[in-house]
């Protein structure tokens, strides 16, 4: 599974609390992504990173922030969790060269419930 | 931006029959089209992909076809087996090495 892990795997929290999810990869991949998965919507990109300290927004970035201080770690923060952020969160990474997009390897997912 | 539509949303087939899932995309600049399989409670995993300079690609019982003119691509699974039951996602590349995913197809193979 390309050495990509997520923590925690499950979390229940209350509305208004901050939450940080961690993605860790051991493949020295340059690109990393955070997605959320909801029924009927597939996988939607929240934020992505194209290198250390280089991040950008995806299609559903409102209410989320990210940080990448090391190649191997990509953190997703919900500053003030809301019930609409209840979802399964997947991170992914890819080592892409100069030929464009390549296979994204996914982590095992984090199931987040906001009460 | 890129938009990917996937059909059908659910598909039931008899074991041994073929299954076809279709996707359309909107951005003519997209050049990479992967298919992912996700079993219940598991992570999505790549099963096959195709780039825009190729019209068809096969890997044992699965194949993908791409029609750049019509901007659609399809996944074909032959001789379906119960272990093929899963959710399948298509995706298309967009700028910045990103992917846009379809909404998914639940495939049920009845034995």
Place B45 in a pLDDT band, splitting at 50, 70 and 90.
Answer: very high
Mean pLDDT of the residues in chain B: 95
B43 contacts A101? CB cut-off 8 A: no
Report pLDDT digits (tens) over A33-81.
999 999 888 999 999 999 999 999 999 999 999 999 999 999 999 999 9
Phi, psi of A58 (to 5 degrees): -105, -160
B96 contacts A43? CB cut-off 8 A: no
Q: Which residues of A touch B (CB under 8 A)?
A: 1, 31, 33, 40-45, 48, 50, 56, 58-59, 90, 94, 96, 100-104, 106-109
Report pLDDT digits (tens) over B68-79.
999 999 999 999
Q: Which of the pair, B107 or A102, is modelled with greater confidence?
A: B107
Q: Which residues, other chains included, contact A42 with Cβ-Cβ below 8 Å and sequence gap of 6+?
A: B6, B89, B101, B102, B103, B104
Mean pLDDT over residues B19-35, rounded? 95
Question: What element of type H or E holds B19?
Answer: strand B19-25
A41 contacts B43? CB cut-off 8 A: no
Report how far apart, in Å, the C-alpha atoms of A96 and of each of A1, A63, A107 are.
Answer: 17, 28, 17
How far is the alpha carbon of B31 from chain A, nearest alpha carbon, in Å?
8
* B47 close to B91: Cβ distance less than 8 angstroms: no
| Chain B residue with Cα closest to A105 | B45
A90 contacts B100? CB cut-off 8 A: no
Buried b (16+ CB within 10 A) or exposed e, B15-53: eeeebbbbbbbebeebbbbbbbbbeeeebbeebbbbebe
What 8-state DSSP symbol labels residue B83?
A: G
Question: Which pLDDT score, from 0 to 100, does residue A100 have?
Answer: 59
- Please check the confidence at residue B62 and state whether its pLDDT lies above 90: yes
Question: Which pLDDT score, from 0 to 100, does residue B54 have?
Answer: 86
Place A1 in a pLDDT band, splitting at 50, 70 and 90.
Answer: low
B6 contacts A102? CB cut-off 8 A: no
Mean pLDDT over residues B76-87, rounded? 98
Q: Please tell me whether residue A112 adopts helix, strand or coil conformation.
A: strand
CB atoms within 10 A of CB A66: 22
Mean pLDDT of the residues in chain A: 93
Question: Which pLDDT score, from 0 to 100, does residue A97 have?
Answer: 58
* R_g (Cα) of chain B, nearest Å: 13
Question: Which pLDDT score, from 0 to 100, does residue B53 have?
Answer: 87
Alpha carbon distance A62, B85 (integer Å): 34
Nearest to B108 by CA among B77, B71, B69, B63: B77
Question: Which pLDDT score, from 0 to 100, does residue B44 have?
Answer: 97
- Please check the confidence at residue B13 and state whether its pLDDT lies above 90: yes
How far is the alpha carbon of B20 from chain A, nearest alpha carbon, in Å?
18
Residues of chain A contacting residue B9, judged by C-beta atoms under 8 Å apart: 40
Alpha carbon distance A56, A15 (integer Å): 26
């Amino acid at each position: 599974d390309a050495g990509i892990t997520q923590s925690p795997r499950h979390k229940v929290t209350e509305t208004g609390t901050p939450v940080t999810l961690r993605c860790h990869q051991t493949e020295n991949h340059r690109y990393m992504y955070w997605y959320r998965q909801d029924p009927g919507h597939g996988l939607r990109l929240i934020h992505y990173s194209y290198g250390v300290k280089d991040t950008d927004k995806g299609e559903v970035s409102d209410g989320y922030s990210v940080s990448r201080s090391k190649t191997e770690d990509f953190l997703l923060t919900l500053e003030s969790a809301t019930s609409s952020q209840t979802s399964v969160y997947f991170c992914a990474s890819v080592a892409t060269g100069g030929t464009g997009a390549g296979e994204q390897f996914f982590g095992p997912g984090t199931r987040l419930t906001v009460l | 931006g890129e938009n990917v539509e996937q059909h059908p949303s659910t598909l039931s087939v008899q074991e041994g029959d073929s299954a076809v899932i279709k996707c359309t995309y909107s951005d003519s600049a997209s050049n990479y089209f992967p298919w992912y399989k996700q079993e219940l409670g598991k992570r999505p995993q790549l099963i096959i992909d195709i780039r825009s300079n190729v019209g068809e690609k096969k890997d044992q019982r699965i194949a993908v076809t791409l029609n750049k003119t019509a901007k659609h691509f399809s996944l074909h699974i032959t001789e379906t087996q119960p272990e093929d039951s899963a959710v399948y996602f298509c995706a298309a590349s967009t700028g910045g090495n990103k992917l846009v995913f379809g909404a998914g197809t639940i495939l049920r193979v009845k034995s």
